[in-house]
C-alpha cells in the first residue's frame, strides 16, 4: 500500500470517527432532552429524521455486508462514509431546529418568570403601601384625638382664666364697697 493511500485511509477514518462522535453526542442529547425535540410542531422534521436514519442504516448495513462478504474495501468505505454523512446532516438539522424552539421556549419562560417576579414585587410593594396608609390613618386618628383633647383643655383653661378674672373683679368691687362703707 502506498504512503498516499495509507494517509487517505487514515484521513477517512478520522472523518468517520469525527462523524460518529457528532452522531453519538447528538443521539445522547436527544435521549436526555427527548421532550425538547419531540414536540408536535416538529413532527414533520422528526419524520424526515426517521427517514434519513433508515436510509443511513440501510446503506451502513450494506456497507458492512460488502466488507464481510466481498473484498471491495473502497466501496465499503464510501458507503460507510455516505451513511454517516446522511445521518449527521439529519441530526444537525433536527438539533438546530430543536435548539431554535428550545431557545424560544426558554426566552418565553424567562419572560414569564420575570413578569411573575415583578408582579410579586409589585404586590409586596402594594401591601407595604397599604400597611403604611393604615398606619398613617391610625396616627392621624391619634393626632385628631389629641387635638380634640387639647382643644378641650384649652377651653377649660381659657374658661378658668375668665372665671378668675371675673372673680378678681368681683373681689375688687366688694373691696371697694367695703371701703366706701
Partner 1 sequence: MGHDLLTVGVNTAVMLLSLFLLIISLRERKVLTSADAWRRMMSDESHIQKIFLLFSLSLLTYLISESAELMSDISPSISLFSIHHYGEGVHMFFALGALILAVQILRNMLEEGK
Cell 383653661 belongs to residue: 157
Stretch that binds partner 1, among 12-20, 107-115, 120-128, 149-157 (CB under 8 A): 12-20
Instruction: In angstroms, give the least distance from the CB of 54 to partner 1.
Output: 4
> Which run of H or E residues covers position 65?
helix 43-69
Q: Which residue of 4, 5, 21, 150 would you call a contact of partner 1, by CB under 8 A?
A: 21
Burial grade of 94 (CB within 10 A; 0-12, 13-18, 19 or more): buried
The H or E element containing residue 31 is: helix 3-32
- Are the CB atoms for 76 and 12 separated by under 8 Å? no
Out of 4, 5, 10, 105, the residue judged to bind partner 1 by CB under 8 A: 10
- Provide the minimum distance between the beta carbon of 65 and partner 1 in the complex, in angstroms, as a whole number: 5
* Binding of residue 105 to partner 1 (CB under 8 A): no
61 touches partner 1 (CB under 8 A) = yes
26-60 CB burial, b ≥16 within 10 A, e <16: beebbeeeeebbeeeebeebbeebeebbeebeebb
Q: Which residues form the interface with partner 1 (CB under 8 A)? A: 6, 9-10, 13-14, 16-17, 20-21, 23-24, 27-28, 30-31, 34-35, 38, 40, 43-44, 47, 50-51, 54-55, 57-58, 60-62, 64-65, 68-69
Amino acid at each position: 500500500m502506498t504512503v498516499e493511500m495509507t494517509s487517505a485511509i487514515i484521513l477517512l477514518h478520522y472523518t468517520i470517527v469525527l462523524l460518529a462522535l457528532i452522531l453519538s453526542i447528538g443521539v445522547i442529547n436527544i435521549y436526555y432532552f427527548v421532550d425538547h425535540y419531540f414536540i408536535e410542531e416538529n413532527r414533520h422534521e422528526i419524520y424526515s429524521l426517521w427517514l434519513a436514519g433508515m436510509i443511513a442504516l440501510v446503506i451502513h448495513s450494506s456497507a458492512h455486508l460488502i466488507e464481510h462478504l466481498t473484498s471491495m474495501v473502497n466501496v465499503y468505505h464510501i458507503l460507510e462514509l455516505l451513511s454517516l454523512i446522511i445521518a449527521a446532516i439529519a441530526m444537525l438539522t433536527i438539533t438546530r431546529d430543536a435548539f431554535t424552539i428550545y431557545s424560544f421556549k426558554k426566552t418565553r419562560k424567562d419572560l414569564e418568570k420575570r413578569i411573575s417576579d415583578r408582579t410579586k414585587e409589585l404586590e409586596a410593594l402594594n401591601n407595604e403601601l397599604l400597611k403604611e396608609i393604615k398606619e398613617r390613618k391610625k396616627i392621624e386618628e391619634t393626632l385628631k384625638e389629641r387635638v380634640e383633647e387639647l382643644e378641650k383643655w384649652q377651653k377649660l383653661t381659657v374658661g378658668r382664666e375668665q372665671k378668675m378674672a371675673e372673680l378678681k373683679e368681683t373681689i375688687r368691687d366688694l373691696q371697694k364697697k367695703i371701703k366706701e362703707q
